[in-house]
Amino acid sequence: MSGMTKKALAASLKAMMERSSLDKITVKDLVADCGVNRQTFYYHFQDIYDLLDWIYKREALDSISNYRTYDTWQQGFLKIFHYVLDNKKFCMSTFRSMGRDHLDLFLHQTVFELLLTVIEEVSADMQVRVEDKNFIANFYTYAFIGIMLEWIRNDMTEDPWIIIDRLSILIEGDMEKAINKYVKRC
């Protein structure tokens, strides 16, 4: 029952964000729309932003779990773009609200985990310090997120596959080069 309640609250929040800014939605409005009481909401979530985080993690992270390798990172990143595009109003409402930090954090965690897994794979037979791997993953994460946020800011008009293709061309071989530079430092 707990999972169903969370899903119902998530569906209500997403539907409400189709019509209204996240900043204007209150817990009172949300529970009235969902047909549950405030206690039920607070049993599951601390606030609306906690629910927002849960939605992003549950819906998007599962979709990229099979695309965390050197050969498939492009498909994983494309899945993130498609999640944002398929949930355009929801993501735009988050992007243009005080909840923007939650979208940024979600994107950072998602992209960082995807890239760190790729870096771990590429450096499997090399001696690279964990902090160096994290630094490389963070560097590429901020580059990727910057591109994605610019795409969101421009109303998601460019085809995500074109962006992914450009990224692939731009960074081809660069992760290995970066990792090798850190191997030499050990």
Residue bearing the bigger pLDDT, 68 or 39: 39
Same domain, 118 and 38: no
Same domain, 24 and 66: no
pLDDT at residue 27 in the model: 96
Share of the chain above pLDDT 90, in %: 51
Joined together, the tokens standing for residue 162 give 């074109």
Mean pLDDT of 125-142: 93
Count of domains in the chain? 2
Same domain, 150 and 174: yes
Asked whether residue 185 carries a pLDDT value surpassing 70, the answer given is: no
pLDDT at residue 59 in the model: 82
Of 98, 86, 80, nearest to 21 (Cα)? 98
Same domain, 88 and 102: yes
pLDDT at residue 62 in the model: 66
CATH at residue 67: 1.10.357.10
Same domain, 32 and 52: no
Question: How far apart are the C-alpha atoms of 166 and 150, rounded to whole Å?
Answer: 15
Asked whether residue 138 carries a pLDDT value surpassing 70, the answer given is: yes
Same domain, 57 and 99: yes
Same domain, 136 and 149: yes
Same domain, 40 and 52: no
Asked whether residue 101 carries a pLDDT value surpassing 70, the answer given is: yes
Same domain, 61 and 73: yes
Of 186, 174, 69, nearest to 128 (Cα)? 186
Asked whether residue 98 carries a pLDDT value surpassing 90, the answer given is: no
pLDDT at residue 1 in the model: 52
Mean pLDDT of 32-45: 94
Question: How far apart are the C-alpha atoms of 7 and 51, rounded to whole Å?
Answer: 10
Residue 118 burial (C-beta neighbours within 10 Å; 0-12, 13-18, 19+):
buried
Asked whether residue 106 carries a pLDDT value surpassing 90, the answer given is: no
Same domain, 16 and 105: no
Range of the domain at 155: 48-185
Same domain, 15 and 91: no
At 46-72, the pLDDT tens digits run 999 999 989 988 887 666 667 666 777
Joined together, the tokens standing for residue 81 give 């773009």
DSSP 23: G
Cβ atoms of 14 and 85 closer than 8 Å: no
